[in-house]
A and B are shown apart, each in its own frame.
Chain A
Amino acid sequence: MPLETLILDILTFFCIYAIFTMSLNFQMGYTGIFNLGLYLPIIAGAMIVAYVPNRLAMQIYNITGLDFIENNAIVITQLREHLQRDPTTSMFLLLITLLLVIIVSAIIGYVVAHPALRLPANYLALFTLCIAETGRVISTQTYWIAGGPVGIAIIVPFWWLPNPYYGTAIFTILVSILIFLIYIKLSNSPFGRVLKAIRENQDTAESIGHNVSLIKKEVMVISSIFLGIGGALHAFDMGAVIADGYNRVDFSFWPWLMLIVGGAGNNVGVLLGTFILVLMRRIMITSKHYFASFLPFDVIWLEPILLSIMLALTLIYRSEGILPEKVTKKKKTE
């Protein structure tokens, strides 16, 4: 892989995972919502990308007599020929998909929040994890959405550019920066301080007039929207959707580790943790073929072991993360 492509690859993955970890930080670091099922809206985002723009493009270009899943390679080749010459339709498909992702993710965030927020912290985490796992089972078994466990190739909205991969990567980076700015703005606003108050003592926050339940639902909806967008961007960046790949290890446990390594409640720390771990993972992935020839098992299984060891060491030696949350200084009054 050329150096500039490798750098762009790492940067894109960093941005996508930073959306996940910033969302997790908004829920857990700021509000104290322990969500282990953050991959549910991610799955929804990826599934919408797998279903909507491809079928819509088939309608627009009048591709009939072919099934998108069964004849995936043929359909994708035909769509590529059309979309290479048609930037307007490409951008229309991208925007309509993202709009749909936002709506569906917001609904998911609200629906999950309703029963989940009745539970104590530990069981909230378990409930969200099980709901997300159910989502994975449904998306994997429903063949007509994304081809089941085998997966499908999807359209790339930047085929009209000389280098579509760069187009997708730069779009992902720009959207991510926008999301980071929104999260930073929200975290530093009075709303962010209310969230911290809820995290520290829910009863006190309620006693001074904050509607804790409503605020938590808002947090779930906002972060769910961004997680959904992250899932959609991930799918576009990969150029394919494999439903089974959206599992708890890659899309929940890894973001949790990034959060813990970086430092919960600190956006800069979370970004640092994300960068360190994305860099490590990408180096492992790109160099795995060096080990493949002499190991009697697939090298990818060393990745969870690495994650496991890092998580254990972080929890033992630096449970507050590399950059712990800053304590807010009180203003001196005269």
Chain B
Amino acid sequence: MIPPAVAISAVVSSFLLSLLALGFTFQYVTLNVPNLAYSTIAFFSTYITLTFALFKFTPYLSVPVSFLIGGLISLMMYKFLSVLRRRGLSSVGLMIATITFDLGIYAFMNIYADYIAYTLKVYTRSFILSDYDFRLGEFPGVLFVSMITAFMLTMVFHLILTRTKFGMSMRAIMENESLASTQGVNVDSVLSTSWFLVGGIAGISGSLYPMWFSMDPWIGARMFISIFAACVVGGLRSIYGSMLGGFMIGLSEVLVTYAFAGLVGGWIWWYRSVIPMIIASVAILIIPNGIAGLIENFKRR
């Protein structure tokens, strides 16, 4: 029997990771650039949530602010990458360019953590906000909030993508950017909006993590492994595949570690972030196109 705390960790982690994987894959598909700053942008929101908690507001009020800030940083990054693209920088050069944002935000996060610690005399290098959460019966609020948020955002994203003119333009750009441009799609405007949206979704996802998991300024670098593993398992270029991958990695990261902990001891929890990388390495060797590729092959038959 899995203890409730482990089950809650698995569910919260899988829903939030699927949202993070969605944003990462979307950004990759639209510009053909893996955004190395993605997880740092997402987890920057953890400090917004902490600030709300420290000033005695309910931490969930940080969600819209995190959406806005995550979206704005993502938009700024898109504009920066657009300038470099116009100057003819290759996709690898653009990937290196994303490091500028990763470093800047990472530094700012640490400066902010130091500043709060200095002014409010609290410890900000490692924190968890589960005490600030509400409870529904036996269960913490974040369990329901993460599930509802993931369902709603996926639904809204899907509806935008399939039912609106904007979504149609977005899909056209993903298929062939220059062709979409010749058909009258304002590529820059559509990509700006979509990068803002997925940056915002990443921000929301990051803002909910500290409600159940322990956070620190290095969390972005660590979580990047899980996001990457989710995208590899789901399919490198499939948005819905990577969401499924995110869900699977989130679940297996917790449950596989729990299973091993029963066999070898509790110390294995320290190595939890190794599990996604093992799964990703095996997936690359066995199913290089991920689950999405498998489904595609099955459909063709």
The B interface is mostly helix, strand or loop, or mixed, namely: helix
- Assuming A129-B224, A130-B229, is B270 touching A311 (CB within 8 A)? no
Q: Are A123 and B274 in contact (CB under 8 A)?
A: no
B285 at the interface (CB under 8 A from A): yes
Of A119, A311, A315, the residue contacting B284 (CB under 8 A) is A119
- Assuming A296-B119, A298-B110, A319-B89, is B100 touching A126 (CB within 8 A)? no
Q: Are B284 and A115 in contact (CB under 8 A)?
A: yes
For A308, what are the chain B residues with a Cβ–Cβ distance below 8 Å? 99-101, 103-104, 107
* CB under 8 Å from chain B, chain A span 69-126: 115, 118-119, 121-123, 125-126
- Assuming A127-B284, A315-B89, is B114 touching A297 (CB within 8 A)? yes
Q: Are B225 and A133 in contact (CB under 8 A)?
A: yes
* CB under 8 Å from chain B, chain A span 34-60: 34, 36
Q: B-facing mask of A302-334, CB < 8 A → 1, else 0? A: 111101110110011001000000000000000
For A127, what are the chain B residues with a Cβ–Cβ distance below 8 Å? 228, 232, 280, 284
For B280, what are the chain A residues with a Cβ–Cβ distance below 8 Å? 127, 130
For A302, what are the chain B residues with a Cβ–Cβ distance below 8 Å? 107
A215 at the interface (CB under 8 A from B): no
A131 at the interface (CB under 8 A from B): yes
Q: Are A133 and B224 in contact (CB under 8 A)?
A: yes
For A134, what are the chain B residues with a Cβ–Cβ distance below 8 Å? 225, 273-274, 277
A137 at the interface (CB under 8 A from B): yes
Q: Are B277 and A305 in contact (CB under 8 A)?
A: no
Closest-by-CB residue of A relative to B274 is: A134
For B229, what are the chain A residues with a Cβ–Cβ distance below 8 Å? 130
Binds A, one of B30-38, B56-64, B147-155, B187-195: B30-38
For A137, what are the chain B residues with a Cβ–Cβ distance below 8 Å? 222, 271, 273-274
Q: Are B107 and A305 in contact (CB under 8 A)?
A: yes
For A256, what are the chain B residues with a Cβ–Cβ distance below 8 Å? 96, 99
Q: Count A-B pairs with CB separation below 8 Å.
A: 126
A202 at the interface (CB under 8 A from B): no
Q: A-facing mask of B184-227, CB < 8 A → 1, else 0? A: 00000000000000000000000000000000001001101100
- Assuming A298-B114, A301-B114, A312-B97, is B103 touching A138 (CB within 8 A)? no
- Please count how many residues in chain B sit with their CB below 8 Å of the partner chain's CB atoms: 50
Q: Are A118 and B34 in contact (CB under 8 A)?
A: no
- Please count how many residues in chain A sit with their CB below 8 Å of the partner chain's CB atoms: 41
Q: Are A123 and B34 in contact (CB under 8 A)?
A: yes
Of A119, A141, A312, the residue contacting B270 (CB under 8 A) is A141
A129 to B274, CA, bound (A): 13
Q: Are A311 and B118 in contact (CB under 8 A)?
A: no
Closest-by-CB residue of B relative to A260 is: B96
- Assuming A133-B224, A301-B111, is B119 touching A316 (CB within 8 A)? no
A319 to B83, CA, bound (A): 12
Min C-beta distance of B257 to chain A, whole Å: 13
A213 at the interface (CB under 8 A from B): no
Of B106, B118, B221, the residue contacting A296 (CB under 8 A) is B118
Besides A133-B273, A301-B114, 13 new A-B residue pairs in contact (Cβ under 8 A), listed by A number: A34-B92, A121-B92, A122-B95, A126-B34, A126-B36, A130-B280, A133-B224, A253-B99, A253-B103, A296-B118, A297-B111, A305-B107, A316-B84
Q: Which residues of B contact A (CB under 8 A)?
A: 28, 32-34, 36, 80, 83-84, 87, 89, 91-93, 95-97, 99-104, 106-108, 110-111, 114-115, 118-119, 218, 221-222, 224-225, 228-229, 232, 236, 270-271, 273-274, 277, 280-281, 284-285, 288
